[in-house]
Amino acid sequence: MSVPRTLEIPPDEWGRPRSPAQVPWLFLAIIAALLAGRFLLAPHLTAPALQTWATIFVAICVQALPFLVFGVALSAAIAAFVPPGFWTRALPKRPAVAVPVAGLAGAVLPGCECASVPVASGLIKRGVTPAAALAFLLSSPAINPVVLVATAVAFPNEPLMVLARFAASLVAAVGVGWLWLRFGKTEWIRNRAHHHGSFLEAMRHDLLHAGGFLIVGGLAAATLNVVVPREWLTAVAEVPWLSVLVLAALAVLLSICSEADAFVAASMSAFSPTAKLTFMVVGPMVDLKLIALQTGTFGKAFAVRFVPVTLVFAVVASVVVGWILL
Amino acid sequence: MSQNLVLMLLGGALLRISAFSTTYVNYVKPGFRPLLIAAGLVIFAIGLLGLVRRSAEHHHGPRVAWLLCLPVFAVFLIAPPALGSFAAARSEAPPPPQVLDAYAPLQAAGATEMKMSEFIGRVFSDSNQTLKDRTVKLTGFVTPSRKKGQWFVTRMQLACCAADAYALKVIVRGVPQPTPDSWVMVTGTWVPTEVDDNATGIVYAELDATAVERVEAPSEPYE
């Protein structure tokens, strides 16, 4: 195959990394601009709505980043240091049994939902059945010890709430896992084409990728937090089925970290215990931040199927468990 | 690779608010500091190492990663302060704080300084009425009220980060309202309110104030 002479061939330096000498200058220029902006611009950006929005946006990012870094590091470590055959030996052979085992194993990862997405992705890459990894993804932010203790502290007079949260979250996670095992298709989960060589390179890529999507979720959550008036909520608290759905929707929109959502749920005194339970079961499984992270990590084809199914399972599981226990 | 610079900026911004200053308390609980410093160092180091040891093969970073610049810009250009009266005015459902019904009696003479959450806790869940005829001092910022002749002394309370903050508000009567968002210490006595179980709307604790003085904003803005 020959290149026609008339076609202009791009110069050699196209697509090459910029020469290293320019980079530090660019960097210094950005820092200088930021420092100057701190003194020139910041005193003028003082509209209360803007400041409140920025505080909440920065708070969501700042609070999630340590957990994201932890999750990304754990995922990279799984990919780099755990031998390929380990998971097939550690988990039960039959996938139908592996799903609940993986769901229960979620109890040992002390983190919130930002950590569990990269870890689940690392597990799938290492050959764990996707259904089992997804059960782990859903259960771990909801049933780990840190979250359960926070729930117990937030509901000092309702000890059954902790048990209800554990049960409903596990039931929903395992249910979604089994459904995925029966009907899920492998091609729905995007397999990243490029292979990450080193531990560092894998971590860097995941951090950039998941971090970017975390920002998308943070932007949406902060905006809704400032725009939606809370008074609307108390108006619907009296209608039982409506209150469950409204708190489920609120859990999705507010994207509160699973380690903190129990305190927020406890503060909504007008709502029934089942509605509060729904808030705490849905939040760690489906929220704007997570939807963005999952879309980024597993692809759009995955998210459009996984997110609605999870939402339905989470709501139904909370209503049933709440009806039995609370 | 310029996305390494994004990581370095992000790590730098995290360190800027946690290691080199205490602005992080505007966003998260004070206990978060070690986590933030560690995460900032790791992110910064990953960016730096990526810059130094650039591999021969050409990597295209994900485009969505450029959004990581946004929190950096927000931190430096807007420098978001702690949540103030704008957020407090929107937080219309003050929760009765979860407290045990075991409060120590207050001293009879002089005024007792106490946290807003303790005051509200004593008001709503204390059958011994330890606040009766006692003078207290509450510290918080000023939030205007829609009703005339009263305003709120306010403190935000966090469970984890500012996204889950809710307002602790106490109605102040008897003294003129200082400028909104200024920090004040109010001295006064509790006005017992008739709490009706069928009451609709929100019942706030009420303080009959005798003095209000300006104070410095506390180093930890949230309770």
What is the rounded average pLDDT for all residues in chain B?
Answer: 84
Share of chain B above pLDDT 70, in %: 86
Which domains does chain B show, CATH number per domain? Answer: 2-80 (no CATH), 86-214 (2.40.50)
Which of A141, A135, A68 minimizes the C-alpha distance to A97?
A135
> Which backbone phi and psi does A239 adopt, to 5 degrees?
-85, 115
Q: pLDDT digits over B76-125, tens only?
A: 888 889 999 988 887 765 555 555 556 777 877 788 888 988 888 888 77
Of A20, A51, A65, the CB nearest to B78: A51
Do the Cβ atoms of B161 and A208 come within 8 Å?
no
Chain B residues 55-84 with CB within 8 Å of chain A: 55, 58-59, 61-68, 70-84
Indicate the domain borders of chain A. 51-325
B108 CA: distance to closest CA in chain A (Å): 31
Do the Cβ atoms of A209 and B62 come within 8 Å?
yes
A23 CA: distance to closest CA in chain B (Å): 8
pLDDT band at B196 (very low <50, low <70, confident <90, very high): low
Q: pLDDT digits over A81-105, tens only?
A: 877 778 878 888 888 999 999 999 8
Question: Which residues fall within 8 angstroms of residue A51, CB to CB, at 6 or more apart?
Answer: A45, B78, B80, B81, B84, B86
Do the Cβ atoms of A62 and B62 come within 8 Å?
no
- pLDDT for position A21: 52
Average pLDDT over residues B159-187: 89
Q: pLDDT digits over B40-87, tens only?
A: 999 999 999 888 876 544 456 677 888 898 999 888 888 889 999 988
| Chain B residue closest in CA terms to A197 | B55
Q: pLDDT digits over B4-34, tens only?
A: 888 999 999 999 999 999 899 999 888 889 9
DSSP A7-69: SPPPPTTTTSPPPTTHHHHHHHHHHHHHHHHHHHTGGG---HHHHHHHHHHHHHHHHHHHHHH
Which of B159, B170, B188, B166 minimizes the C-alpha distance to B124?
B170
Q: pLDDT digits over A159-183, tens only?
A: 899 999 999 999 999 999 999 999 9
Q: Mutating which of A208, A238, A289 best tests the B interface, going by the most B Cβ atoms within 10 A? A: A208
- pLDDT for position A1: 43
**ipTM score over 0.85, yes or no:** yes
Angstrom distance (rounded) from CA A40 to CA A43: 7
- pLDDT for position B101: 58
Which of A268, A238, A235 minimizes the C-alpha distance to A251?
A268
**Tokens at residue B107, please?**
């001293």
- pLDDT for position B57: 47
Of B7, B36, B83, the CB nearest to A207: B7
Do the Cβ atoms of B14 and A256 come within 8 Å?
no
Chain B residues 156-185 with CB within 8 Å of chain A: 159-164, 166
Residue with the bigger pLDDT between B209 and A25: it is B209
- pLDDT for position B96: 53
Residues of chain B in contact with residue A65, where contact means CB-CB under 8 angstroms, are 10, 14, 36, 39, 43
pLDDT at position B133 over 90: no
- pLDDT for position A227: 81
Do the Cβ atoms of B54 and A37 come within 8 Å?
no
> Which backbone phi and psi does A152 adopt, to 5 degrees?
-65, -40
Q: Mutating which of B10, B58, B76 best tests the A interface, going by the most A Cβ atoms within 10 A? A: B76
A269 CA: distance to closest CA in chain B (Å): 7
Of A20, A55, A204, the CB nearest to B83: A55
Residues of chain A in contact with residue B79, where contact means CB-CB under 8 angstroms, are 38, 42
Do the Cβ atoms of B75 and A58 come within 8 Å?
yes
Question: Which parts of chain A sit beneath pLDDT 50?
Answer: 1-3, 193-194
Of A205, A231, A259, the CB nearest to B160: A259
Residues of chain A in contact with residue B28, where contact means CB-CB under 8 angstroms, are 59, 62-63
Of A17, A27, A56, the CB nearest to B5: A27
pTM above 0.95, yes or no: no
